């Protein structure tokens, strides 16, 4: 009797990794191995080979590990590139050697601001919109893009799933929604940037989608080295998202005051527009993720609409 296939979740202690392990979509007929940073150092090829020594033909590796401190990456370039670029390359080398499948989670930050053509993105971004004249504006984004390219070179069958603005909304996770939830109870008013627009994405919904992809791979479909975008449906500014949090909590959303990026400077520039189109995800045959406001209500423990 054949032993079950194994799905390795890299970054198991992180926001997305935890959601992957807790997902209701986890198949009952596979072995799931969660690997934390104490179990595997993806920046070290030797560590990757050791931790994945039992990787077999047909197994799946989901890389949810990343250096995600966008501002910190500006002064920790070597660390960011070691984790975000060398890490995916090392994992891809291991999956290619074992004839296993690799799912690598990437980010909207790989899109920089175009310097030619239409100048600024103004419609939801497709994977094909990544252009040579629009290299990432941040070390974080550049290191993630380098990781995508290094992974593709080491394992042409690996699949990149780009996502954005991931939130869980519940402590102890520290994300934007959790922060807004806390600040609602601490301050009469808060000020939030209103000229950056993106795709809020609920980690458990993304995790369910990644499991759908993993199951497809376990069934023998490789998806041929594709790049897809997976986010909850809809778009928002940070101010929109903060006001939605207040509304779900029963607080007055007008307590959230809008400001410009210039009024709230950060060490790393944020993209003014990085809404990801989910057409590539849907065209690959996967279930669309629901609207982000409904996901937010779940995150905050409120009944969903409809």
Residues with a known catalytic role: 140
- What's the Cα-to-Cα distance from 97 to each of 45, 161, 209, rounded to whole Å? 13, 22, 26
Task: Give exposure, 253-267, as e/b (b: 16+ Cβ within 10 Å).
Answer: eeebebeeeeeeeee
Residues 4, 25: contact at Cβ < 8 Å? no
- Tell me the sheet residues that pair with 291: 233
Contacts of 190 (CB under 8 A, 6+ apart): 180, 183, 184, 242, 255, 256, 257
> How far is residue 29's CA from residue 211's CA, in Å, rounded to a whole number?
13
Contacts of 166 (CB under 8 A, 6+ apart): 15, 16, 175, 201, 202, 203, 206
> How far is residue 250's CA from residue 298's CA, in Å, rounded to a whole number?
14
- Tell me the sheet residues that pair with 167: 202
């Amino acid at each position: 009797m054949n032993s079950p296939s194994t799905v390795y979740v890299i970054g198991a202690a992180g926001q997305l990794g935890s959601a992957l392990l807790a997902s209701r979509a986890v198949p009952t007929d596979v072995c799931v191995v969660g690997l934390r940073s104490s179990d595997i150092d993806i920046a070290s090829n030797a560590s990757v080979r050791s931790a994945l020594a039992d990787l077999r033909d047909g197994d799946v590796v989901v890389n949810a590990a990343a250096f995600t401190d966008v501002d910190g990456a500006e002064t920790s370039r070597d660390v960011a590139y070691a984790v975000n670029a060398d890490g995916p390359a090392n994992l891809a080398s291991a999956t290619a050697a074992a004839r296993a499948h690799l799912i690598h989670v990437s980010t909207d930050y790989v899109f920089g601001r175009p310097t030619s053509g239409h100048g600024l993105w103004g419609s939801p971004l497709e994977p094909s919109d990544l252009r040579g004249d629009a290299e990432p504006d941040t070390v974080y984004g550049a290191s993630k893009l380098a990781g995508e390219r290094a992974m593709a070179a080491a394992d042409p069958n690996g699949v990149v799933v780009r996502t954005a603005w991931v939130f869980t909304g519940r402590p102890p996770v520290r994300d934007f929604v959790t922060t807004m939830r806390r600040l609602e109870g601490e301050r009469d008013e808060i000020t939030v940037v209103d000229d950056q627009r993106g795709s809020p994405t609920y980690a458990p919904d993304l995790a369910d989608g990644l499991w759908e992809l993993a199951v497809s791979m376990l069934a023998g479909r490789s998806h041929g080295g594709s790049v897809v975008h997976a986010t909850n449906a809809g778009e928002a500014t940070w101010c929109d998202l903060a006001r939605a949090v207040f509304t779900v909590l029963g607080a007055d959303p007008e307590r959230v005051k809008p400001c410009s990026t210039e009024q709230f400077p950060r060490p790393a520039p944020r993209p003014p527009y990085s809404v990801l189109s989910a057409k590539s995800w849907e065209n690959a045959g996967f279930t669309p993720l629901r609207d982000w406001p409904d996901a937010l209500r779940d995150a905050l423990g409120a009944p969903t609409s409809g």
